[in-house]
Structure 1
């Protein structure tokens, strides 16, 4: 693997995975990449509870914030979809812009569409490698997408590329009138 070009010693990552083995592998991968703080949780409910505690009492949570989340898709009682929806849509979410990388061994078109429509930042299929995890983290850093808010969606712009053969006007261009400050 090529050397990773970032110093992650100050980065705080939340890993949400119900499988003990996968959770420990992800922890090891993130440590090998140099991540400073990696918090591990068994399901979305534990993650939500921690994010709320961190928002209300950072000293009790032992952290000031989370830089990004890596979450499994299927867990009980709260799965990755529920966690993602809470992060993006709940008034209690401490950071609706928090990058979320969803992982799963069960990847089909419907699951990808559902994750995309809930505002996932990146999606990573199991089995994963150190390199594939590093590439998703790099994508979050190197290619952040603007956030879109509509009546039914809040999250990163789902359009990643311009359609081949499309000759119409670029509707993604923004003017100052198109923007709304959500957080200052």
Structure 2
């Protein structure tokens, strides 16, 4: 297994990545972004995605923010946008969407960091520690009007895929969602962290690494001699 450095020592890291030619991923983001019918290229060679099958959850304690985000996402062609005004409601919606009906999972979560009750930090920690794969690997974009280096670091350490400053424009949100789709980071488990690789990489991971998609992958990679 090829080791990839992160904040912990290399011996403490478990990381697997899947070669593009043999991908069989289980997450809903892969379902929407990984098929030829889901994307095309314009004259400038930018990827254009059909997000009509996408389901996005926006979470913010201010309703005008969720209204703004929902409007922006609809402009992007997102098929379904659901909203929650606190972490507990979002948690219940995530659980409901990952129930019996297959293909109904949330594809991307746009999450406010500072909320009364269950905060964005607590919700993100619950997601990354969940036993169900479609919840554990849910792409999360954190939004906050109070971003600082400390907040960005905390969000990354909790497993956020991206961090954005509010107010969020439709164009910026589109670019972040596209970045999450185009540049999926390997998920890393170390003694004190689980989530997308905290180091951005411009080049794809080389070799025969596999992207972690389920707990069996994590267990098997730990058991390798």
- Shorter-chain TM-score: which interval? 0.7 to 0.9
Partners in 2 of 1:183 and 1:27 — Cα distance?
36
Mapped partners of 2:96, 2:86: distance in 1: 16
Identify the residue that residue 75 of structure 1 maps to in structure 2.
Answer: 115
Counterpart contact for 1:4–1:134, Cα < 8 Å: no
Instruction: Report the counterpart of residue 169 of structure 1 in structure 2.
Output: none
Q: What residue is the counterpart of 1:159 in the other structure?
A: 199
CA distance 1:31–1:149, shift in 2 (3 Å): same
**Structure 1 vs Structure 2 CA RMSD:** 2.8
Instruction: Please say if 1:31 is aligned against 2:74.
Output: yes
Q: How many aligned positions are there?
A: 171
Closer, same or farther: CA 19–76 of 1 in aligned 2, 3 Å: same
User: Which residue of 2 is the match for residue 124 of structure 1?
Assistant: 164
**Inter-CA distance 98–42: structure 2 relative to 1 (3 Å threshold):** same
Alignment of 1:1-184 (within 5 A): 5-58=48-101, 64-91=104-131, 94-161=134-201, 182=215
**What stretches of structure 1 of length at least 5 have no aligned partner?**
163-171
Q: CA deviation at 1:144?
A: 0.7
After TM superposition, the structure 1 stretch with the greater mean CA deviation from structure 2, 29-38 or 92-101, is 92-101
Report the TM-score when normalising by structure 1. Answer: 0.82
Aligned mates of 1:159, 1:66 — CA distance in 2? 25
Secondary structure of the 1:155 match is strand
> Taking CA–CA contacts closer than 8 Å with sequence separation of 6 or more, which of the two structures ends up with the larger relative contact order?
2
